[in-house]
Every structure is written in structure tokens, then in C-alpha cells.
Amino acid sequence: MTCNEVPRVIDAYLDGELSVAATLQAHEHFALYENCRRILESEAALHGLLVQAARAEPVPAELRSQVLRSLPTVGARTHPARRLIARFGLVSGFVGLAVVGWLATERLALHPMTPLAAELASKHLLYGEGAAARSSW
Ligand SMILES: [Zn+2]
């Protein structure tokens, strides 16, 4: 992230709307550049005042229903925390695959296959692939 990009992302950053990667980049940038950190601090203060003012002000019923009507569907936008959880799920899936792969190679190393077993296993894989390809047509 460059200093020129900071004004563009600062609101999303304060609202927690950036992706995890972008949030980390912004975080790193604010740690490195004092000027941008000052901008962040003043924006955060303004942000806090706006949130306070908005909470103190009762929302007119008509405005509320208009806003609610204009929303596509409630919960359609993915919450950052949910994205994080999804990403964690993906990562743990990969870890799981890695463990399965490791266990498989470990087993193969401990019990080398006989040529017959190896042939059967490769045929099984071949048929398995064929079945998967057929089912996806
Ligand atoms: Zn900067």
C-alpha cells in the first residue's frame, strides 16, 4: 500500500470492510508511516463522533423502511469475520489434505506394495478418474 492509496481505503479500514490481506497491508502501512497514522487517528476520531451522533439520533421510521427496502437481501454481503472463517476453513482443508497425503506416503513407505497390489491400485485410480469424468458430463 502506498500513501496515495490511504485516503481511498481508510473508511473501509475503519469500518472493518477490507479483506484480511488489505487490512494487514493497511495495518503495516500505518505502523510504518507516521503521517498516515496521524490521518488514521483523525479519521478514527471523526468516525467515532459520527457513530456516536448517528446512534444518538433516532432513525425516522420512513427512512428506515426505505433503506431496508433498498437492500438486496439481508446478509447478502459477506461479513469480514465470515470471510476470515471461510478462509480458515479452506486453510484447514488444505492442512487436512496434506496430513492425508503424508499418512498415505507414510503407509506406502512402511508397506511397499507388491506389483499386483500396485497394478490393482493404479487400475482403481484409473477407473475412479473415469467415473468422476463421466459423472461431471
Ligand atoms: Zn503512508
pLDDT at 134: 57
Cα(18) to ligand 1 centroid in Å equals 17
Burial class (CB in 10 A: 0-12, 13-18, 19+), 6: buried
Measured between its terminal Cα atoms, the distance across the chain in Å is 44
Distance (angstroms) between ligand 1 centre and the Cα of 12 equals: 16
Structural domains in the chain (count): 2
Residue 137: give the domain boundaries. 78-137
Residue at a domain's end among 24, 46, 76: 76
Confidence of residue 83 (pLDDT cuts 50, 70, 90): confident
Mean pLDDT of 94-103: 72
- Boundary (domain end) residue, out of 51, 76, 101: 76
Q: How close is the Cα of 43 to the center of ligand 1, in Å?
A: 14
Check whether residue 70 and residue 100 sit in a common domain: no
Q: What is the pLDDT of residues 105-133, one digit of tens each?
A: 665 555 566 777 777 777 776 666 665 55
- State the pTM of this model: 0.41
Do 29 and 61 belong to one domain? Answer: yes
Question: Is the per-residue pLDDT at 58 higher than 80?
Answer: yes
Average pLDDT over residues 35-52: 92
Q: Are residues 36 and 61 in the same domain?
A: yes
Do 7 and 52 have their domain in common? Answer: yes
Helix (H, G, I), strand (E, B) or coil at 72: coil
Cα(54)–Cα(110) distance, integer angstroms: 66
Q: What are phi and psi of 15, to 5 degrees?
A: -85, -5
